[in-house]
Structure 1
Amino acid sequence: MSKRRSLATIGLAVIGVVTVAACGAAIVAVAVAPTMPGTLQPSRSAESVEVTEQEFVDERTVDVELVRDPGISLSVPLTGRITRFGCRPGASIASGGSFVSVDGRPLLTLATSMPLWRDLSIGDEGDDVKALQTELARLGYAVTADGDFGSASLAAVKALFTSIGDAAFDEPGLPVSRVMWAPTTTTVISTCIGSLGSSVSSGDALGTVQGIVSSAGITNLPSDLLSGARVLEVDGQVTSVNDDGTVTDPGALDLLSGMRGTTGAARDDGDGGAEQEPNQLAATFVLQTPVLVAALPPSSIYGVEGSEGCVRGDAVGVPVRIVGSQLGQSFVLFEGHVPKRVDVVPTGVPACR
């Protein structure tokens, strides 16, 4: 074999080894190439969404204007020295409680439809007795408002005085000198006149409270409300309201009269008096009975005119009414047929009206 042929043979052998090595490397590279997890693969946008309904109360924030009667004086019913005085402008006093004591005896705050004007004892009858019994029953005592002051009424009175700190109360009835009348079950104090340690005579004024709310109404009633009976939610309390936004129910007016957080509550001016503010409070105006709405992406609604629009569901155009929006969703009411799914971005949109 010649030297030239030997070199050629060696060259071919080297080329073969390199080729095989290269192919092996390629095979190894293919074998170890990582596969992208399914969760990291680019996702395809959903073409439709399922229609699910939820409750909707059409919540609106409104202002309620209160019309109050003139303020009422708090008169002490007996003579002596003030030994406890919890009067603070802007604070609330509740019927069935006590915020002042004279000569160590707590005075009972009572809100009755008729102010008590005489001492009551077993056998007394009248409208004042019935007014007392009505309030005792509201406070949770087992009393029938029949206008006849009997043993059940007396037992309730004794229990009530025990609850305000006078366990020694053992009167044969209810002395009017132990009662401070209040106009509403919860009353906001406007001014305080008395002071701890001062001497008072029967009939002296200890302060004044806000007058009773005689009427109330929403000042900024929305014009695009869903139809249906509504209620007002104020400071955690719910009260009735008329369709036109006015409040006329006596119980509702009584509740508003003593509502804490009203801008009409008196504000201490630093001299024991108070500076009166406008009688207005913030409230939430909601449907009494929720309605069912669907939450859809805004892109699914087309042909919008005012609050009316369309969606494409079950391959047909479906009319909807837009009633609200929140967090990138539109709340709609279906006008008739409720599809199972609607297109997120409808194409070839069909007419729906």
Structure 2
Amino acid sequence: MTVVSASPLWRDLHLGDVGGDVDDLRRSLREAGDNIAASGPVDSSMVDAFNERLRAAAEREVPGSIDRSSLVWLKSSASRVSHCPMSLGASVLADDALAGVAPSVSRASIAEGMEGRAALGAVVVELSGDSFAVSSDGSLPEPGRTVVELPDSNDSAENVESGGTVNLQGTLRLEKSIQVLVVPPSSLVTVGDSSCVFNAGVANPVTIVGSELGKTFIKELNSPTLTAVDLIPPDDAKCPSN
């Protein structure tokens, strides 16, 4: 039987035992269809459910306990196998590795590109075809979820396996689209943390969303009213505080 958990199983379980490994096995049994309690210490119903599965597979059972050697630990429910150290017909002992999986990145943060985005709404990043929510500090706050698996032939994979870091390329976007204005860079005035554009000499506070190929994308902080901006602001231009 396989058990998916963040940490490897490290002991046999007996009646009354408690801990994260007990909770992980309970969850695996319930997901497999066994009608046992969702929480609590090891009890007779949990042991019976486990041993019933061993009997169905014609495996050896240990009455009154859960034998760790009958379990296969997986760190995630779906992983890409990179190598198989066991040969056909070999004896497998407790704690022997049955297969190796590709190293994975489970925690990440955005190195650049978050400036000003959090103020525009929820931000997500797209990595390897998946989307992840990004918190205001640039971290990916989804514990237990694999960010990306790395090819084991990649130099970055060896770095991750040794506890190092790796740079990943992704795309940042807002979770919900917003309406922006496209203006020439010369129309913008920025003083400290405040930015604005002028229309007929009147300052309108804005947030700079981004820029591309000589165009600047802005969002009005007040109700959208602008239909035109002054190409060149007044010489004494000052922006109202945002």
- Structure 1 stretches of 5 or more lacking a match? 1-106, 269-273
Aligned 8 A contact 2:82 2:100 in 1: yes
Deviation at 1:202, TM superposition (A): 1.5
Q: 8 Å contact 2:187–2:231 — kept in the other structure?
A: no
Amino acid aligned to 2:199:
R
Q: For each residue in 1:20-52, what CA deviation from the matched residue of structure 2 results, as whole angstroms up to 9, or x when unmatched?
A: xxxxxxxxxxxxxxxxxxxxxxxxxxxxxxxxx
Give the alignment partner of residue 125 of structure 1, picking from 10, 14, 17: 17
Of 72, 88, 95, the residue aligned with 1:180 is 72
Residue identity matched to 2:71:
V
Report the equivalent of 1:304: 188
Task: Give yes or no for contact 1:117–1:176 (8 Å, CA) kept in 2.
Answer: yes
2:45 maps to 1:147: no
Check 1:348–1:227 CA distance in 2 against 1; reply closer, same or farther (3 A cut).
Answer: closer
| Structure 2 equivalent of residue 334 of structure 1 | 220
- Which residues of structure 2 form unaligned runs of 5+? 161-165
Q: How many residues align?
A: 218
Higher alpha-carbon Rg:
1
Please say if residues 266 and 276 of structure 1, whose CA atoms lie closer than 8 Å, have aligned partners that are also in contact: yes
What residue number does 1:318 align with?
Answer: 204
Separation in 1, partners of 2:156, 2:215? 46
Q: Which AA in structure 1 matches 2:153?
A: R
Using the alignment, how far apart are the partners of 1:287 and 1:153 within structure 2?
48
Residue 332 of structure 1 deviates from its aligned partner by: 1.6
Q: Percent identity?
A: 22
CA–CA separation in structure 2 for the residues paired with 1:154 and 1:233: 44
Higher strand residue share: 1
State the partner residue of 1:201.
92
Structure scoring higher RCO (CA < 8 A, sep ≥ 6) equals 1
Return the letter of the residue paired with 1:303. S
- TM-score normalised over the length of structure 2: 0.59
- Shift in Å, 1:115: 0.7
Corresponding residue SS for 1:133: helix
3-state SS of paired residue (1:130): helix
Q: Could you tell me which amino acid in structure 2 is paired with residue 304 of structure 1? A: L
Looking at structure 1, the residues matched to 231 and 124 of structure 2 have their Cα atoms a distance apart, in angstroms, of 42
For 2:146, the aligned partner's letter is L
- 1-side partners of 2:125 and 2:47: how far apart? 35
Q: Deviations over 1:154-194 (max 9, x none)?
A: 55x589x6xxxx99348677543331123445555453212
CA RMSD for the aligned pairs? 4.8
Query: Contact 2:6–2:75 (CA<8 Å) still a contact in 1?
Result: yes
Correspondence for 1:168 among 56, 80, 85? 56
Amino acid at match of 1:310: V
Q: Distance between the aligned counterparts of 1:333 and 1:242, measured in 2?
A: 19
| Aligned counterparts of 2:213 and 2:34: Cα–Cα separation in 1 | 49
Deviation at 1:138, TM superposition (A): 7.1
When residues 125 and 277 of structure 1 are mapped into structure 2, their CA distance, relative to the original with a 3 A threshold, is closer
